[in-house]
Amino acid sequence: MKSFHAMPYTRPNLEAVETAAHQLIDTIRGADNAASVIQAVKDLNHLRQETATQFTLSHIRNSIDTQDPFYKEEKQFSDKNQPRMQAISSAYYRALLESPFRDQLEKAFGQLLLRKAELAIKTFSPEIVDDLARENELYTAYSDITSNAQIPFRDETYNLSQMGKFTSSLDRDTRREASQAISSFMAPYGERIDQIYDEQVKLRTSIARKLGYDNFIQLAYDRLGRSDYTADMVANFRAQVKQYIVPLTIKLREQQRERIGVDTLYHFDEPLHFASGNPLPKGAPDELVNQASAMYDELSPETGAFFRFMVDHDLMDLVAKKGKRPGGYCTSIAGEHAPFIFSNFNGTSGDITVLTHEAGHAFMFYEVRDNTVPEYQMPTLEAAEIHSHSMELLTWPWMDRFFQEDADKYRFVNLSGNVFMLASCCLGDEFQHWVYEHPEATPAMRRAKWRSLEQEYMPTRTYLNDEYLESGATWHRVLHFFMRPFYYIDYALAVTCAQQFWTRSLADKEAAWTDYLHLCRLGGSMSFLDLVKEAQLQSPFDTACMQGIIGDIEQWFSSSSVK
């Protein structure tokens, strides 16, 4: 197999793709035997994956260097034309559902493919193609703002990812000044970001109504493939987080305030967890990758082979640099049967968190890379996040490799981070539900609503002399709201499952790993709750689940030597 840098990119000839795709769809519709239909499905899947590969390569290479004019143009081409591929998928799904050989199709490809087809048809119509292209363009416009950040700080210039080492500095003045520098960069763009989001909200609402929905919320759920739970179930989950998790966040923040020795824990103090400084990974990025390789060799034969595959084929771009998009992600280069990890190492503990997190996604992709049904290569997003969050926790025994004497401090930060994440993701989810229930709201009203909800889910948060954040603008840096609405809650649902794997691993590491590996190998062949059950996990929507998780977490904190 080629390394990532040797993978050829060619702009897809979409006219030829459409012609070939519709010929195969006509075969599915007109064939007089099941064997011909099944073969046409396989041929169409291959065509779809080859086209998706080129779109993915342009996306990754644009993420790595947003200033590269060639891949910037190719990303724009992708944004504009992805809806054409969605149109092909929609026509394909209709042909599947109308086929007289449906029983044979279900036997060959499974029932879930047909269920996914039904949802996909609901979320697409040819009349929204231009709207979908505009939706993509708006996300790119937002992303360009954050990707091209140039933040002056103490005689140097940094991007948003590189500022992370200053926002968690042991020196309080540095933390405060770094936080203010970021706000000083973001604030002038605040009105533009509000405008982008306002157009997105109105556009998505218009799309939903064209498709026959009352508002965008159920359309978003259907887009995300949520076939076995509802918005009401999610609202009940958020209520449990308010009941059980928010009180724990208050306790943890008060302990943090005492540990770092401040009278008031301001927003810029939150990233610092210990008076002696946060745990930092020991070693340069290449050394950390070498340690990760040794760790995955010891974790299991499967993870060892996986990580060597990633290293040998240059399937990771990890270090922050000028012009690189912020954040981290994992994606799959389908035609090359390979995952890819993108991150922004900046010298903080987050480097190890993102490496293990994205490796969890990549490991799942690696395990299902030869599945020829695109719909089964990726589960719904809340299920996919189980792989990543669980990998963070299942690799705890090896954290001494990265942090040495500070390994327990890292584990403390990692676990408390999951607690804070449950609250922040529910905040983001309730905010989005309100936004799309009130699409006519003004940007000022949205900011006010965010600040109100922030006080419910993060009651300890206190801003100091930062009018931009105090106005309710912290959500401006949550790219999920712009890229994939309602995705944010998936992290919280997944964490409740990952914490169960963690508890089980403390008692029986081999049994927990066996179930985790089984979950990864299922890919997207089952719905979320079916995958949860198959992995012998409790549904996050069960009240007893949240109660059990909070008990395990509090017990660990009480017994930890780190306070």
Assess if residue 28 is contained within a domain: yes
Assess if residue 335 is contained within a domain: no
Cα–Cα nearest to 421, from 484, 499, 362, 347: 499
Beta-carbon neighbour count of residue 160 at 10 Å?
22
Cα–Cα nearest to 9, from 48, 47, 54, 52: 54
Query: Taking a C-beta distance cutoff of 8 angstroms, is the pair 499, 248 a contact?
Result: no
Assess if residue 498 is contained within a domain: no
d(CA 268, CA 263): 13
Cα–Cα nearest to 130, from 88, 91, 81: 81
> Is the pLDDT reported for residue 48 higher than 90?
yes
Number of domains in the chain: 1
Which residues does 469 contact at the CB level (< 8 Å), separation at least 6? 183, 267, 463
561 falls in which pLDDT band (50, 70, 90)?
Answer: confident
d(CA 235, CA 293): 41
Cα–Cα nearest to 129, from 94, 59, 93, 79: 79
pLDDT of residue 2: 87
Q: pLDDT per residue over 92-101, tens digit each?
A: 999 999 999 9
418-434 CB burial, b ≥16 within 10 A, e <16? bbbbbbbbbbbbbbbbb
Rg of the chain over Cα atoms, rounded to whole angstroms, equals 23
Assess if residue 417 is contained within a domain: no
The more confidently predicted of residues 450 and 146 is 450
Q: pLDDT per residue over 158-186, tens digit each?
A: 999 899 999 999 999 999 999 999 999 99
166, amino acid identity:
F
pTM: 0.92
Assess if residue 53 is contained within a domain: yes
DSSP 3-state percent helix, strand, coil across the chain (nearest 5)? 70, 5, 25
523 falls in which pLDDT band (50, 70, 90)?
Answer: very high
d(CA 478, CA 472): 13
Q: Compute the mean pLDDT over every residue in the chain, rounded to the nearest whole number.
A: 96
d(CA 452, CA 450): 5
pLDDT of residue 562: 83
Q: CB-side exposure of 104: number of CA atoms within 13 Å? A: 14
Assess if residue 73 is contained within a domain: yes
Q: pLDDT per residue over 250-298, tens digit each?
A: 999 999 999 999 999 999 999 999 999 999 999 999 999 999 999 999 9
Assess if residue 115 is contained within a domain: no
Query: Taking a C-beta distance cutoff of 8 angstroms, is the pair 473, 267 a contact?
Result: no
Query: Taking a C-beta distance cutoff of 8 angstroms, is the pair 422, 241 a contact?
Result: yes
Mean pLDDT of 53-66: 96
CA angle 362, 364, 366 (to 5 degrees): 70
322 falls in which pLDDT band (50, 70, 90)?
Answer: confident
Query: Taking a C-beta distance cutoff of 8 angstroms, is the pair 48, 89 a contact?
Result: yes
Tokens read off for 152:
């002056």
Assess if residue 451 is contained within a domain: no
Tokens read off for 202:
């109105």
Beta-carbon neighbour count of residue 254 at 10 Å?
12
Mean pLDDT of 374-387: 95
Domain of residue 20, residue span: 4-110
107, amino acid identity:
K
How do 316-319 and 338-345 pair as beta strands? Answer: parallel
Tokens read off for 272:
């610092």
Total residue count of the chain as it appears in this document: 563
Query: Taking a C-beta distance cutoff of 8 angstroms, is the pair 472, 521 a contact?
Result: no
